[in-house]
Structure 1
Amino acid sequence: MTSARRLDNAPWLKTGPAARVLKLLNTDGEEARVVGGAVRNALLDLPIGDVDIATTALPEEVARRAKAAGIKCVPTGIEHGTVTLVVDAKPFEVTTLREDTETFGRKAKVAFGRDWVRDAERRDFTVNGLSVDPEGNVHDYVGGLDDIAARRVRFIGEPEKRIAEDYLRILRFFRIHAAYGAGEPDSAGYLACIGGRAGLIGLSAERIRLEILKLMVADGAAGSVTAMVEGGLSLPIFGGVAYTGPFAALIGIEQALGLSPDPIRRLGALAVAVTEDARRVASRLRLTNAETKALDSMGHRWWRLGGMDEARARRRLYRLGEERYRDRLLLAWARSGARSEDTSWRELASLPARWTAPKFPLRAADFLARGIAQGPELGQVLALAEDAWLAAEFPLDQAALDTIADQAVARLTSKP
C-alpha cells in the first residue's frame, strides 16, 4: 500500500527542532521520517505529543552526525537502535529501521535494515504504522489511513501473533481504541485479546499501571472499559470486581461539573467499594504513595456522604480537605444512582467553592494555661475541643472558644 495523503497541518515538519533533526538525517543516502503517534494525531487534528523519528542510518551514524552538529545525543536504547537527540531542550527518539528475526515476547531479536515496509509491519496497530517524510507525504503500508478515517483500531497482521509478542498490547488495544477509536472495538482484535488474557498475569505491575492510568482518562474510556470487563479482562488486572456502572456515572458527573478527568478518581469508581479494594488495587498496580492514599481515602466509608445537610458537609470538608472531600463525594454520588443533574448532590459538590473551612483557633497554649501538662493529655484535650468546635459549627468569637476549652478540660479531668 502506498502513500495516499499529504499532511498539510504539520508546520513542525518544516521549521523547529523536529525539522532540524529530519534535515540532519536526510542527507548522504540516508532517509528519516516521523513515525507513530505524531503522524496519527496530526491526521486526526489532535495535539501532538512526542515526535518519534525512524531512519535508515545506523545508531552510530546518528550519533556521529549529532555530535558534528552540536546536538546532544543520549544512547537511551542503542542496543535496540534507539538514541535520543535533544534539540532546544526537546527530546526526539531516533530509531534505526528494524525487522524481527526471532520473536519471543518483548525479547524479540531484531536486525537493523533499510526497508520501511518491514519496519511498519512490526508495529502494533495500523493507526500507529504510518510515517511522514519532511515534505509531508504520508506513507502507509498497513492500511492505517483507512482505519484512521473509520476511527478503527486494528492490529497489524494476525492479532494473536502480535499479542503473543507482548501481552501489554492487550491493554494498549483498549487504550488506543478509547483514545482514537469509535464504536465497538475491532472484533478480530477483541477476540484475540480475550483469548490471550492469561498472558496479562506475567506483565510487570509498572507497565500495567501506565496503560491503565492512560486508559482511565481517554475520551472513550467508558466503552473500552466495559468491553474489557465483559471480555473477562478485569480480573487479571484488578484481582476483584469491576463496577462499570459507577465508572460511567463518575465520568458523566465530572463532565457535568466541568472537572478535568482524574485517573485515580476514575479508578476508584471502577474498582473500589471498600478500603480493602483500594489496597489490593494499589498493590497490584504498584501505585505511588500519593495515589494509594487517594484511593484509600475514596474507599473509606464513602456511603456516609449521601444525604448530608450543609452543616455535616462542612464538617466532612474540614476533616478531609478539598481534594479528598471531592473525590469521596463523587464516588458516593456515582454509586448512588442519582443523575449528574441532581440538585442535592451538586450542592454538596459545590461546597468547596462556596465555603472555606477556617483553621481550628484553639492552640496548645490555651490548655497549658488551664493546667493541662505537656504530654498525651494535651493531645487528648485538643481533640475533644476540636470535636466540640465542629459540632458548634466553627465559632470564632472568644466567648464561645473559652466555653469550648473549659468544657474540654472538664471532660478530660472528670474521666476516672
Structure 2
Amino acid sequence: MSDARVLDAPWLRSGPSARVLKLLNGDGEEARVVGGAVRNALLGIPIGDIDIATTAPPTEVVRRARAAGIKSVPTGIEHGTVTLVLDAQPFEVTTLREDTETFGRKAKVAFGRDWVVDAERRDFTINGLSVDADGAIYDYVGGLADIAGKRVRFIGDAAQRIAEDYLRILRFFRIHAAFGAGEPDRAGYLACIAARAGLATLSAERVRMEMMKLMIADGAAGATIAMADGGLLQTILGGVAYTGPFAAMVAAERRMGLKPDPVRRLGALAVAVTEDARRLAARMRLSNAEARALDSMGHRWWRLAGMDEATARRRLYRLGAERYRDRLMLAWARAGGDGDGARWQMLATLPERWSAPKFPLKAADFIARGMAESPALGQVLALAEDAWLAAEFPLDEAALKAIADQAVTRYTRDIRP
C-alpha cells in the first residue's frame, strides 16, 4: 500500500538518482528507491548508497542504460542486479524477485513484478520500505511504525529470514544498535540464539564487515551485552568477550570527543594480551594495519596504568601518538572507569599538549669518540637513547655530551667482550 506520507528528498527530484528513476520508469515498467536510503531519509540522517528496485528484467535495464549512454556493470546479473554508474556514482538496480529455493547465500530466485512479494523477502521491516519518483512511500511490512517506535524486527518468520542468510544474525544486532532503542525484539533475539551455530558457516570477510560496523554504532555497548548473553560473541571472537571494558571504551571516547574507532573498540571487546590480537587478526581476516594496531594495544597495556606524566612522555616517544593513545585508552577501559577519569583524560591528551623531540645524537657522535663503524654502533646508540629518555629529553650540548660519553663508557665496560 502507498502510505499517505510523501518523502521530500532533493535527490528524488534532481541529480543522478532522479535520472536513473526516470530512465527505468515508463513503457510498462516501474522503478523505486528501496532499503537503507529510504530508512535514513525518513530518519533525517545521511544516506549512503541508493539502491533501486525495478519491474524491468536485467536485460531491459542494460538496454535502456546503453541507449542513454550510461555505463552498466553486471555485478550480480544472475540474481537480477545491474550497477549503473552516473557521474561517478554507482546505483545498484535489482529486478523484483521472489525466492524459489533458499540455501544461505545461494538462493534460487525468479524475477517478478509484485512489489509486496519483493518487500516480504527482505530482512527487516525498516529496510522493507520503497519510495517512487514522486516521493510516495510504500510500506507493506510495517516499517514506518517500527521506524517511529525504534524497533528492529525481522519481516515475517525470523527463523526463516535467518536461515536464508546467517549474516542476518549479525545484521540484527548491528541495525538494532544503529536504529533501535531498548532491548532487542524478543522474537528476533531468540531466533538469533537458536541459529547461532550458523555463524560458523560465514566467511571471515563478511563477519569482519558487519562487526566493524557494529563496533561504531551508537548502541553498540548494549548490543554487545545482548550478544554475549545469547552466547553469540564466543562463536564470532573465538575467545572471551569483555563487555565491561567495551562499554568503558565507548564512554571514554565520548568523554574525549574522539570519533568512534572500530579497531580500538574491538580491542576493548576482545583483547587482553597480544595472543588475543593475533587470534582475531586471523579469525576475522583483519588488514595488516588493523592487526598491527590490535597487537600494539594488547602489548603490556597494564604498564600504562598509574604512570606519571614523565613516564607517559617516554611511552609516547616510543609508541608514537596513535599507538600511545590506543594503548592508553585500552588501559583506561580495562580499569573499568576507576573514578579518576580526569587523570586518564590528562594522559590521553598528552599528544595534543606535548610533541616528542627527535633523538639528537647520531652515529657520527660516537665515531668521533673512537667507536668503529660496526653493529656495536647501534647498541651504543640504544644505550644513549635510553639514558636520554631517563633524563627527560635534554637538548643542551653539555647534557648530550655527558650522555654520549657515558654510553661509550658503559658499552666498553659492560657489553663489549
**After TM superposition, is the score higher than 0.5?**
yes
Structure 1 residue 373 and structure 2 residue 380: aligned?
A: no
Runs (4+) of structure 1 exceeding 6 A deviation are none
Partner of 1:360: 359
Partner of 2:37: 38
The answer to whether the 8 Å contact 1:256/1:341 transfers is no
C-alpha separation between the residues in 2 aligned to 1:8 and 1:236? Answer: 41
The answer to whether the 8 Å contact 1:302/1:328 transfers is yes
Shift of 1:338: 2.8
The answer to whether the 8 Å contact 1:154/1:186 transfers is yes
Partner of 2:315: 316
Shift of 1:371: 2.2
The answer to whether the 8 Å contact 1:252/1:340 transfers is no
Shift of 1:67: 1.2
Provide, for residues 18-75 of structure 1, a one-character-per-residue CA deviation record: whole Å limited to 9, x for no partner: 0000000001111000000000111111111100000011111111111111111111
What amino acid does structure 2 have at the position aligned with 1:38? Answer: A
- TM-score normalised over the length of structure 1: 0.98
Identity of aligned residues (%): 76
Indicate the RMSD between aligned Cα atoms, in angstroms: 1.1
| Secondary structure at the counterpart of residue 182 of structure 2 | coil
The answer to whether the 8 Å contact 1:253/1:340 transfers is no
Stretches of structure 2 lacking an aligned partner (at least 5 in a row): none
Partner of 1:126: 125
C-alpha separation between the residues in 1 aligned to 2:47 and 2:8? Answer: 11
What amino acid does structure 1 have at the position aligned with 2:176? Answer: H
The answer to whether the 8 Å contact 1:54/1:95 transfers is yes
Shift of 1:340: 7.2
Structure 1 residue 26 and structure 2 residue 25: aligned?
A: yes
The answer to whether the 8 Å contact 1:274/1:301 transfers is yes
Shift of 1:176: 0.5
Partner of 2:222: 223
Of 3-12 and 218-227, deviating more is 3-12
Shift of 1:339: 5.2
5 Å matches for 1:168-179?
Answer: 168-179=167-178
Provide, for residues 192-251 of structure 1, a one-character-per-residue CA deviation record: whole Å limited to 9, x for no partner: 000000111111100000000000000110111110000000110001110111100110
Provide, for residues 148-203 of structure 1, a one-character-per-residue CA deviation record: whole Å limited to 9, x for no partner: 11110111111111111111110000000000111110000000000000111111
The answer to whether the 8 Å contact 2:162/2:195 transfers is yes
What amino acid does structure 1 have at the position aligned with 2:186? Answer: S
Shift of 1:341: 6.5
Partner of 2:245: 246
Provide, for residues 324-372 of structure 1, a one-character-per-residue CA deviation record: whole Å limited to 9, x for no partner: 1111101111111235762211111111111000011111221222222
Of 119-128 and 366-375, deviating more is 366-375
C-alpha separation between the residues in 1 aligned to 2:339 and 2:221? Answer: 16
- TM-score normalised over the length of structure 2: 0.98
The answer to whether the 8 Å contact 2:95/2:112 transfers is yes
5 Å matches for 1:10-409?
Answer: 10-338=9-337, 342-409=341-408
C-alpha separation between the residues in 1 aligned to 2:31 and 2:340? Answer: 52
C-alpha separation between the residues in 1 aligned to 2:280 and 2:4? Answer: 44
Provide, for residues 380-413 of structure 1, a one-character-per-residue CA deviation record: whole Å limited to 9, x for no partner: 1111111011001001111111111111111112
The answer to whether the 8 Å contact 2:7/2:131 transfers is no
Stretches of structure 1 lacking an aligned partner (at least 5 in a row): none
Provide, for residues 93-137 of structure 1, a one-character-per-residue CA deviation record: whole Å limited to 9, x for no partner: 111111101111111100111111111111111111110000111
Shift of 1:373: 2.1
